[in-house]
Structure 1
Amino acid sequence: MAERFDPALEPNEPNRHGYIVEIDPANSVSRPRKHTALGRFKHENCEMVMARDGHIVAYVGDDEREKHLYKFVSSGTYRPVMDNPSRLLEDGILHAARFDDGGTGVWLALTPDATGMDKAEICINTRLAATAAGATTMDRPEWVAANPQVAEAYCCLTNNKDRGKSGQPVNGVNSRPNNQYGQIVRWISARGNHASRNFKWGLFVMVGNPNVHQDAYAGSSNITSDNMFNSPDGLTFDSQGRLWIQTDGNYSNTGDFSEMGNNQMMLADAGTSAICRFLVGPKECEVTGVTWSPDHKTMFVGIQHPGERHPHTCHFPGDGASVPRSSVIAIEKAGWLGLGRAVVG
């Protein structure tokens, strides 16, 4: 083990981890850039948009029970000709979200005045800063996705078995105790500007099982026996404004999760809130990550840790390998009917 990873020799080493790191895949000699201004916590994705006034806004979730949702707003503004646009993420203000009951919310600036911490402490102990500022504790905020057509964004709140216990009160945005199914929250920025301090929010979907429950755990009205799932995790908009939801949850298919099956990928209409199932993954996998070819005729989807608990029961990708393994599948569109096929890479 390298000496830097021995806390007895280098007690500050843990503080160097837990940040968003930018790489340039098109430049093999570029150096990775650690963006400490975006905070240190258990990041999922980093969703960046340009606000109406040119500021760069980065949304990031902290995938842990009782933690927070964040937004970074750059001090500078983007210009078409810049030597190093990445520097916009080095100077700005990090905010944490407060979701008030009644459908309104505020982004709380994590400044020394608001937190009682200096800038370095805020970058290192970001969770403590958000708590000090009064941010809402959330049900494991994971991926954030911004709608390319309007100034709204969505976040997967995966689940939280501790909701309702001490320190994690039931409230509007986290409205179920022992929240084993999760939900997706949507917020609309004031004045159509992602850099705005204020927003309005609503729940895009409350996930549940209507085959087992008749109360709040059955889910919202856009959940049915034909599309039910649990633990929304990955979240991405395509260029046409369609919302893709990926899950990483309970795949036991028994009890409260009866008939939910394996983890899956859903397609949602942001306008109508309609949700339909697009694909189902192999046994005991997480479906995570999605992107498209430039002509948008091929979709690439990540299949992570198939056969996680019982590898002898899963043979994905089915090419004669002795054990299942993580893969990327390519789903190709073919013909005017939109029919296609999946290819494992």
Structure 2
Amino acid sequence: MTLSTGPSVGRRLLPITPRHDAVGAHSRSSRDPMTCLFRCGNACDHPEPNRSDHGHVQDEIAKVVGRRGLLQSALLGGGALVIGGSVAGAGRAAAATSAVAPSGTATAGAARAAAKGGDLTRSFTAVRPNKRDAVTTAAGHTSSVVVRWGDPVVPGAVAFDAAAQTPAAARTQFGYNCDYVGVLPLVPGKPLGDDALLVVNHEYTDENLMFPAETYTDDEIKAVAIANHGMSVLQIRRGAAPGSWKRITPSSKTPKNRRIHAGTGFRLDGPAAGDERLRTAADPTGTLVRGTFGNCAGGMTPWGTVLSGEENFNGYFDKSGELDPRYTAEYARYGIAGSGKGWRSVDPRFDLTVEPHEPHRFGWIVEVDPHAPKMGPRKHTMLGRFKHEGANVIVSANGHAVVYMGDDERGDYLYKFVSAAKVDKRTNLAGRNANKELLTAGTLYVAKLTGDGSDDGQYDGTGRWLKLCTDTTSFVPGMSVADVLIFTRLAADKLAPTKMDRPEDVEPNPVNGRIYAALTNNSDRGKSTMPVDEANPLASSMVRTAPGAPLTSASGNRNGYVLEIAETGRLGHADRYFAWNLMLVCGDPAAAETWFGGFDKSQVSPISCPDNVSFDSAGNLWISTDGNVLGSNDGIFRVPVEGARRGQVLQFLTVPLGAEACGPLVTDSDRSLFFAVQHPGEITGATFEKQSSTWPHTDDFPRPSVCVAYVDR
């Protein structure tokens, strides 16, 4: 959906406003229609880009690993895999007993970690669903804002003024709609000290909420919006209360502060770098890209850098005429239609007719070294191009870097990358520099899941990682290595992997070694193009219009799942075989279809639309949500994954009206929970003059912000 088209037409009486029908007719998403319009251009109102006729889980016993072998293999690398996932509403019998993990190294390790854990691993009373315009934390805890949209990031930044925004000022200030949150030691390889580095993504902008009326031209709005994308790196310092942190005023004493924006140069590396399809008039080498857009989640690497995922990049490109017929299939598979944000009037590279290759330069995993502000960030072509939610790294037992990724689209796939070289164990500069090359060569895989086919009250099975390519060899018939990496979705389609329900954050648990994937939802699940299967079992879900309102049925998987994977091959995370189960079938505990790892459903919080995941030192899973359809604000939840309380979902906090909870990140010896409050007040009908929220209540308009929660002593 085009938000604005054509050249500037002088002063507007109102800021850019989506067409009435674009908002009002949109009802298929769990999010507010206004969020869907500005973030992804109402993606779920369009046919899913994956039209391939394959990819549902075959309900048969796995040929790769026998059932008994599955359970034995799951013990490798630390602990037993708990298998469980009853979903009565989809043909399984509801289980009433709790699933208790057998004793094993992972369970024992988690118990030891919990005994030493900090405040956030302790018990708390869950926050009840609510519609408050505030961050509401569990009793005994509090939260504070660390940095807001418009706060200065680099020395000399102009003071923020909503009525006098400029691109130059925005490139020095904290950008809009913060998403991923990373916190790193000020010195790489050292523990967190009194100071640290905060790294944050800025995913997208909402021009309705950002700009006062009668103040800006169309082109001024677009230019400022472009500058509010990207990433921020800034130094933070411990606050007076244990677990609290605060922003440091930028100065010569914060030399690592940095604003990454639309003008920042990114180097493309890996096998596809320099390919003809990555070349433009501005970059005839195909190796240097300006900016990063649609950055969603990410992860911190063992060598002290940050990975960031370019997600809804397809919505940034317009057309002034016909599209290049060479890329008809490729554009369609990526949802690129030439109906973007109107940015071509201020930057011609966003005109597909003029620069048909420009969108091929987005949709990558970005790596930034926060400790080297003069070093340009990179885009890793070896990790494939799709709607990356993020990327997270674990070191395999045999020393290779293994990266897990999800493609955030209805019916798209889970991916894994294994580096060719081993991780350099040196903590000095030479070791860090060697490790920063790890993601340029290796093997890229896509996941195929197989259900066990038994009517055992469980959604579980085995799976294989299918080889897409190495840095020198393609395993996809008719496609070169560059083909596979630039058009990864089309390459994966040919191998018939499993279509999943919007795989978003995919992260390894550092305590038990298992992988946890947030499958947010899929309103199309159950249609003929996307039948239910054992890994995606719901054709309908129960929803609420408000806390306490009656449950009603909605088509598709509206509340999402959390998938648990245990790598079962002898090489562990570097191998090709795994076991899987649906640990959580999210929703209201009163709904028959929900499942909470076997835990007593009368003692859990309702949870809808899991988005990002993280872990504390005890291995507890922390989940943030995006698009709650149970009538409450979104929030953050803690879930044990081991022992008698496995699956006990408890809500730790809720975010303000219209907002999404992003992050989360438990750090500082489990004393601090960092999280981002994205798009507060993004509710249909809101404008700058008529806001639905004013959080964090420092102005008469909302300001997306990064916060930290901690014990209120």
The one-letter amino acid paired with 2:437 is: R
The one-letter amino acid paired with 1:263 is: D
Given the alignment, which residue of 686, 692, 697 partners 1:313? 692
Post-superposition offset of 1:166 = 2.7
Where do 1:1-345 residues align within 5 Å?
A: 1-81=346-426, 82=431, 83-102=433-452, 103-111=461-469, 112-177=474-539, 178-190=556-568, 191=570, 193-211=572-590, 213-214=591-592, 216=593, 218-220=594-596, 221-222=598-599, 223-224=601-602, 226-251=604-629, 257=630, 260-271=631-642, 272-309=646-683, 311=686, 312-319=691-698, 321-335=699-713
* Contact 1:43-1:61 within 8 A present in 2 as well: yes
User: Relative to 1, partners in 2 of residues 1:142 and 1:133: Cα closer, same or farther, differing over 3 Å?
Assistant: same
Post-superposition offset of 1:323 = 1.2
Looking at structure 2, the residues matched to 298 and 231 of structure 1 have their Cα atoms a distance apart, in angstroms, of: 24
Larger Rg computed on CA atoms: 2
Tell me the C-alpha RMSD between the 2 structures: 1.8
Looking at structure 1, the residues matched to 693 and 603 of structure 2 have their Cα atoms a distance apart, in angstroms, of: 26
* Contact 2:614-2:666 within 8 A present in 1 as well: no
Looking at structure 2, the residues matched to 80 and 244 of structure 1 have their Cα atoms a distance apart, in angstroms, of: 29
Looking at structure 2, the residues matched to 145 and 183 of structure 1 have their Cα atoms a distance apart, in angstroms, of: 14
Deviations along 1:6-28, one digit per CA (max 9) or x if unpaired, are 32222111111100011111211
* Contact 2:364-2:381 within 8 A present in 1 as well: yes
User: Relative to 1, partners in 2 of residues 1:279 and 1:115: Cα closer, same or farther, differing over 3 Å?
Assistant: farther
Gaps of 5+ in 2: 1-345, 453-460, 540-555
Looking at structure 1, the residues matched to 501 and 477 of structure 2 have their Cα atoms a distance apart, in angstroms, of: 23
Q: Percent identity?
A: 38
Post-superposition offset of 1:2 = 3.0
Relative CO higher for 1 or 2, CA cutoff 8 Å, sep ≥ 6? Answer: 2
* Contact 2:660-2:677 within 8 A present in 1 as well: yes
Secondary structure of 2:476's counterpart equals: helix
Post-superposition offset of 1:239 = 2.7
Looking at structure 1, the residues matched to 437 and 417 of structure 2 have their Cα atoms a distance apart, in angstroms, of: 13
* Contact 1:23-1:32 within 8 A present in 2 as well: yes
Q: What is the TM-score normalised by the length of structure 2?
A: 0.44
Secondary structure of 1:240's counterpart equals: coil
Secondary structure of 1:4's counterpart equals: helix
Deviations along 1:277-323, one digit per CA (max 9) or x if unpaired, are 1111111110001234544422211111111115533231122x111
Instruction: Decide which moves more: 160-169 or 91-100.
Output: 160-169
Looking at structure 1, the residues matched to 618 and 694 of structure 2 have their Cα atoms a distance apart, in angstroms, of: 35
Secondary structure of 2:438's counterpart equals: helix
User: Relative to 1, partners in 2 of residues 1:293 and 1:229: Cα closer, same or farther, differing over 3 Å?
Assistant: closer
The one-letter amino acid paired with 1:241 is: G
User: Relative to 1, partners in 2 of residues 1:187 and 1:334: Cα closer, same or farther, differing over 3 Å?
Assistant: same
Looking at structure 2, the residues matched to 237 and 280 of structure 1 have their Cα atoms a distance apart, in angstroms, of: 18
* Contact 2:419-2:439 within 8 A present in 1 as well: yes
Looking at structure 1, the residues matched to 406 and 616 of structure 2 have their Cα atoms a distance apart, in angstroms, of: 20
Looking at structure 1, the residues matched to 672 and 640 of structure 2 have their Cα atoms a distance apart, in angstroms, of: 20
The one-letter amino acid paired with 1:180 is: R
Deviations along 1:86-111, one digit per CA (max 9) or x if unpaired, are 21100011100001011100000103
Secondary structure of 2:647's counterpart equals: coil
* Contact 1:151-1:192 within 8 A present in 2 as well: no
Looking at structure 2, the residues matched to 98 and 9 of structure 1 have their Cα atoms a distance apart, in angstroms, of: 38
* Contact 1:151-1:193 within 8 A present in 2 as well: no
Looking at structure 1, the residues matched to 558 and 478 of structure 2 have their Cα atoms a distance apart, in angstroms, of: 35
Q: Give the number of equivalent residue pairs.
A: 324
Secondary structure of 2:661's counterpart equals: strand
Looking at structure 2, the residues matched to 64 and 132 of structure 1 have their Cα atoms a distance apart, in angstroms, of: 18
Q: What is the TM-score normalised by the length of structure 1?
A: 0.89
Looking at structure 1, the residues matched to 537 and 381 of structure 2 have their Cα atoms a distance apart, in angstroms, of: 33
Post-superposition offset of 1:219 = 4.1
Looking at structure 1, the residues matched to 491 and 608 of structure 2 have their Cα atoms a distance apart, in angstroms, of: 31
Secondary structure of 1:261's counterpart equals: coil
Deviations along 1:204-229, one digit per CA (max 9) or x if unpaired, are 10012243x33x2x444545475001
Which structure has more strand as a fraction of its residues? Answer: 1
Looking at structure 1, the residues matched to 492 and 522 of structure 2 have their Cα atoms a distance apart, in angstroms, of: 19
Post-superposition offset of 1:273 = 2.0
Deviations along 1:219-255, one digit per CA (max 9) or x if unpaired, are 445454750011000101123312101100135xxxx
Match of 1:339 in 2: none
Match of 1:343 in 2: none
Match of 2:269 in 1: none
The one-letter amino acid paired with 2:586 is: V
Looking at structure 2, the residues matched to 115 and 333 of structure 1 have their Cα atoms a distance apart, in angstroms, of: 56
* Contact 1:76-1:88 within 8 A present in 2 as well: yes
* Contact 2:635-2:655 within 8 A present in 1 as well: yes
The one-letter amino acid paired with 2:482 is: A
Post-superposition offset of 1:151 = 2.4
User: Relative to 1, partners in 2 of residues 1:192 and 1:277: Cα closer, same or farther, differing over 3 Å?
Assistant: farther
Match of 1:338 in 2: none
Looking at structure 2, the residues matched to 224 and 163 of structure 1 have their Cα atoms a distance apart, in angstroms, of: 28
